[in-house]
Structure 1
Amino acid sequence: MAFGLAGLLLIAGCAGDPTPSAPQAAATSAGSVSGGGASTASADVSLSANVKHLANVPHQAPLNGPQAWGTDLAFQGDYAFVGNFDGFNVFDISDPAKPSMVSQVLCPGEQNDVSVTGNLLFLSVDTARGGPECDAGPGRGGADDWEGIRIFDIADKAHPRFLSAVRTDCGSHTHTLVPGENADKVYLYVSSPGPEPGTPSCPAPHNKISVVEVPVKTPTDARVVSQPALAQETDENEFYTGCHDITVYPEKNLAAAACFGDGILMDITDRANPTVLQHVKDEENFAIWHSATFNNDATKIVFGDELGGGVSATCDSGTPKTKGANAVYELGADRRLKLLGYFKIPREQTSEENCVAHNGSLLPIPGKDIMVQAWYQGGVSIWDFTDAAHPKEIGFFDHDPVQGVGGSWSAYYYNGHIYSSDITKGLDVLRIDDPLTDPAKKVKITELNAQTQVSY
């Protein structure tokens, strides 16, 4: 099962394995190979005066085939983990201006969105495979096809090791790491579109998410423990059901889910059984509710609209500023949501550049609501929604246009720097120097999964 930027292209006939640029024999049984390679700042960029481009690391073999696209990011200590349609990369970012490759894992399975905790790494697979193993090959459309969550041991960053996998209905387009009530367990909230009538892996109805429980000491015992329904049953022929992405704020016992047709606020006090508090709709402006971000006080939520599924040019002059944009909602003490305003990048893009609101994260700045966000070929935007009715961009970075689909998939702030996973150009490292954002440089954390928010 696939959707959005990946899905629209896969439906067109690209669902098989991309042709790798290096033979699979170069990998170990877990699909891990050591890496190297230099990083340089690129000249083919435009940026605001307060943003500096520190480094770019292009995709490298074996994760540089024609569909080896960069996807999501996670961070731990001095390491960045970068998802790729063909697997994932591990970078040493102890010197952010000179990121170096530690290892690459060849493990095809779009989108390979990634999260980490302790010695565990999780990958989302939302396209049918012959099995959960990295070398299983593409699925054949039968009952034995597999898609869901892959689990790796990353105790040795130079040699990640495949441990096990969990099959989930309709696969896993994205997932969100949720700390358990104690340190013995973590949960994954698995989001995926569906149903896909006539297939064994994605039956109707699909008005739910899957909750995977992972015992930290015995991760091979991970299993689906619940499938909470988040909406009423829908027409089995309707494709756009289920959720695209979920952001949790465990300290507040809240989650915000972007579920294609609407935004959903949830209570996650019972981690294994989240419950719905409110649905919000915007049928005039929003097409595909894609992602969500809380502000630090959990008094606002930013929902993004992925109009066009990520392959369309929605930042051009012909698209209204309220479409393919962000909507900022007030979250009241009564746990009710109220629309406050919209934000879209002010830099008009050409009609050939795929551009729309995508993945981002909050900057840790007391008293301010500022986030960094990817906009595909609209680049990376740093914007301020402290005044939610009048949000504004305060900095940006943008590669020159590329032919076809490209641009920043995810852009997150981590320990003083911005890291952007570009679909075709690899990993970019940026720094913003601005009086508004400088307080964020004082905040140091040891782990970041952007969809698992913590207070600062």
Structure 2
Amino acid sequence: MTSDNVTHVANVPKTAPFDGEDDVNTDLAFQENYAYVGNFGGFAIYDISDPTEPKAVSQVACPGQQNDVTIHGDLLILSIDEPRGGPECDSGSGDRSWEGLRIFDVADKASPRYVGAVQTDCGSHTHTMVPSEESLYVYVSSPGPEPESQTCAPPHELLQIVEVPLDSPESARIAAKPNLFPELGSSDYSSGCHDITAYPEKDLAAAACFGDGVLLDIADPVDPKVIQRISDKQNFQIWHSATFNNDATKVVFGDELGGGTQPTCDRNTPRTKGADAVYDLVDGQLQLRGYFKIPREQQGEENCVAHNGSLIPVPGKDIMVQSWYQGGVSIWDFTDSANPKEIGYFERGPFESGALAGSWSAYYYNGYIYSSDIQEGLDVLEIDDPLTDPAKQVKMDDFNVQTQKSY
């Protein structure tokens, strides 16, 4: 099922060894004519020089949840949020004493090479790159603490910052663990962030920290400062992710009600829950304007909630594409912050086995929408609509959704 203005251009199914129901496809990153797709079993590289016929270039077996992926130059970084026996790909679950970031050299796309790793407290659920001339700073987001865990003892800060020297990535290390809210003190209870989106050109970052949204000044990338902390206890359960509009006058925060496993896109769930909240940034402060949720009711067996998305680069407009698990892929316009509306969509309907399924991430890159489907593999979509057509003139050399660049 799809709207008239969206075409399903291509699909590349998951292949062994990443083709089981537990081999969950996760996040996406792009560089030139390549797409990088994370999977609980490792990661894959696709040649997308012809988006209508993507071709698998390589798969690297390197198990670990989440295996969210970013790319910078020849360096690929994976987030591991699962205690493993060690940093190497073949370490197994073993004594479960390690989790964090893994680093690969992907200069040879057909044969990526493991470079090293950095252990981080409570692992890395997601990560965000903040590049500089000599180093790549990586903001690590992870939940915790877990008092009985070997890898996640209390206290646990909201943010850990890893420095990856570009000329010696094997020497990457933790550079800082800033205490963003010293007034809260240490706690044995859950802390940390789920996702952070940096906008280095604007010296800003927006952090979705489970129970709160946080606006940060990152002029000094290893010493971020809190500008504002907001909450919405009536509507938001899990502050999951954040997206700035192009001129950084708005932030969209998403609520992953039910953790992605529940059917929250139904008539029994309020339209303001499991949704997106649109905030205007006025005089340096976030002000709530409106909410968006897909208007199509999903069936009781379909896990559906707001998940990963990105801007569609339309000058003068604020338009996003976003994944909604089994709710599919939604394209929506929030130019009017108080009255956002859907303008296109793609969805498959219920996954037949009832397993966790649907679109994990949906991003726009150089004229096409790429969706990492948990069970079905890599989808390529095209939207043909007067509102989004100007985006086809915008060309990007690379794209990591948590590191925004202006267009």
1:237 Cα deviation (Å)? 4.0
Contact 2:68/2:79 (<8 A) preserved: yes
Question: What does the per-residue CA deviation read over 1:244-294, in whole Å, with 9 as the maximum and x for residues that have no partner?
Answer: 000000000000000001000000000111111100100100000000000
Residue identity in the other structure for 2:5 = N
d(CA) in 2 for partners of 1:426, 1:236? 40
Offset of residue 204 of structure 1: 1.3
Shift of 1:199: 1.9
Aligned partner of 1:453 among 398, 401, 404: 404
* Residue of 283, 302, 306 corresponding to 1:353: 302
Summarize deviations over 1:1-21 as a string: whole Å, max 9, x none.
xxxxxxxxxxxxxxxxxxxxx
Contact 1:321 1:343 in 2 (8 A): yes
Residue of structure 2 in register with 1:200 after alignment: 150
Asked whether 1:363 is paired with 2:303, we answer no
Pick from 83, 88, 110 the counterpart of residue 43 of structure 2. 88
Alignment partner of 1:146 is 2:98: yes
Q: Does the CA-based 8 Å contact 2:158-2:209 persist in structure 1?
A: no
Q: Distance in 2 between matches of 1:314 and 1:404?
A: 16
1:47 has 2:21 as partner: no
Letter in 2 for 1:187: Y
CA RMSD of aligned residues (A): 1.0
Q: Secondary structure at the match of 1:309?
A: helix
Q: Which amino acid aligns with 2:243?
A: T
Q: Does the Cα contact within 8 Å between 1:207 and 1:234 map onto a contact in 2?
A: no
**Paired residue for 2:369, among 402, 409, 418?**
418
The CA distance in 1 between the partners of 2:137 and 2:186, in whole Å, is 29
The aligned counterpart of 1:265 is: 215
2:395 matched residue in structure 1: 444
Equivalent in 67, 88, 100 of residue 112 of structure 1: 67
1:253 aligns with 2:253: no
**1:389 equivalenced with 2:338 (yes/no):** yes
Q: Aligned partners of 2:359, 2:308: CA distance in 1, in Å? A: 9
Cα shift at 1:230: 2.7
Matches within 5 A, 1:2-151: 46-141=1-96, 145-151=97-103
> Partners of 1:312 and 1:278 in 2: how far apart?
30
Query: How big is the shift at 1:205?
Result: 2.0
In structure 2, what is the equivalent of residue 3 of structure 1?
none
How far, CA to CA, are the matches of 1:346 and 1:229 in structure 2? Answer: 40
1:317 equivalenced with 2:267 (yes/no): yes
Give the conservation status (yes or no) of the 8 Å contact 2:128–2:403.
Answer: yes
Asked whether the 8 Å contact 2:365–2:399 carries over to 1, the reply is yes
Query: Paired residue for 1:335, among 267, 284, 303?
Result: 284
Once residues 49 and 235 of structure 1 are traced to their aligned partners in structure 2, the CA distance between those partners, rounded to angstroms, is 53
- The two structures have a TM-score, normalised by structure 1, of 0.87
State the match for 1:168 in structure 2: 120
Offset at residue 196 of structure 1 (A): 0.2
Report the CA distance between 1:81 and its aligned residue: 0.1
Structure 1 counterpart of 2:123, one-letter code: G
Picking from 381, 384, 387, the partner of 1:430 is: 381
Of the structure 1 ranges 429-438 and 394-403, higher mean CA displacement relative to structure 2 is found in 394-403
CA distance in 1 between partners of 2:405 and 2:186 (Å)? 37
Post-superposition offset of 1:235: 6.9
Give the whole-Å Cα distance in 1 for the aligned partners of 2:64 and 2:20.
Answer: 13
**2:168 pairs with 1:213:** no
Secondary structure, counterpart of 2:391 in structure 1 = helix
Number of paired residues?
A: 404
Deviations 1:104-135 (A, max 9, x none): 00000000000000000000000001001000
Post-superposition CA distance 1:430-453 (Å, at most 9, x none): 000000000000000100001100
Matched residue SS, 1:383:
strand
Q: Deviation of residue 400 (structure 1)? A: 2.0
2:187 to 211, 215, 236: 236
1:174-185 map, 5 Å: 174-180=126-132, 183-185=133-135
Separation in 1, partners of 2:223, 2:3: 44
2:147 is paired with a residue whose SS is: coil
Letter in 2 for 1:59: K
Q: Any conservation in 2 of the 1:139–1:146 contact (CA below 8 Å)?
A: no
The 3-state SS of whatever aligns with 1:194 is coil
| Structure 2 gap segments, 5+ residues each | none
Determine the C-alpha separation between the residues in 1 that align with 2:28 and 2:105.
Answer: 17
Separation in structure 2 between the aligned mates of residue 451 and residue 154 of structure 1, nearest angstrom? 20
Is 2:111 the counterpart of 1:159? yes
Q: Distance in 2 between matches of 1:238 and 1:399?
A: 39
Asked if 2 retains the 8 angstrom alpha-carbon contact of 1:205 and 1:233, the reply is no
* Alpha-carbon contact 2:156-2:186 (below 8 Å) kept: no
What's 1:25 paired with? none
Letter in 1 for 2:390: P
Q: Which amino acid aligns with 1:408?
A: S
1:28 corresponds to which residue?
A: none
Match of 2:355 in 1: 404
Maintained 8 Å contact 1:304/1:358: yes
**Structure 2 letter corresponding to 1:88:** F
Name the % identity. 65
**Amino acid in structure 1 at the alignment position of 2:254:** G
Which residue identity is paired with 1:387?
A: D
In the TM superposition, residue 224 of structure 1 has moved relative to its aligned partner by: 0.4
State the TM-score, normalized to the length of structure 2. Answer: 0.98
Q: What SS is found at the alignment partner of 1:424? A: coil
Q: Is the 8 A contact 1:72 1:113 kept in 2?
A: yes
Shift of residue 234, structure 1, vs aligned partner: 6.1
In the alignment, is the contact (CA less than 8 A) between 2:333 and 2:341 conserved in 1?
Answer: yes
Task: Give yes or no for contact 2:212–2:231 (8 Å, CA) kept in 1.
Answer: yes
Using the TM superposition, give the Cα deviation of residue 194 of structure 1 relative to its aligned residue in structure 2, in angstroms: 0.3
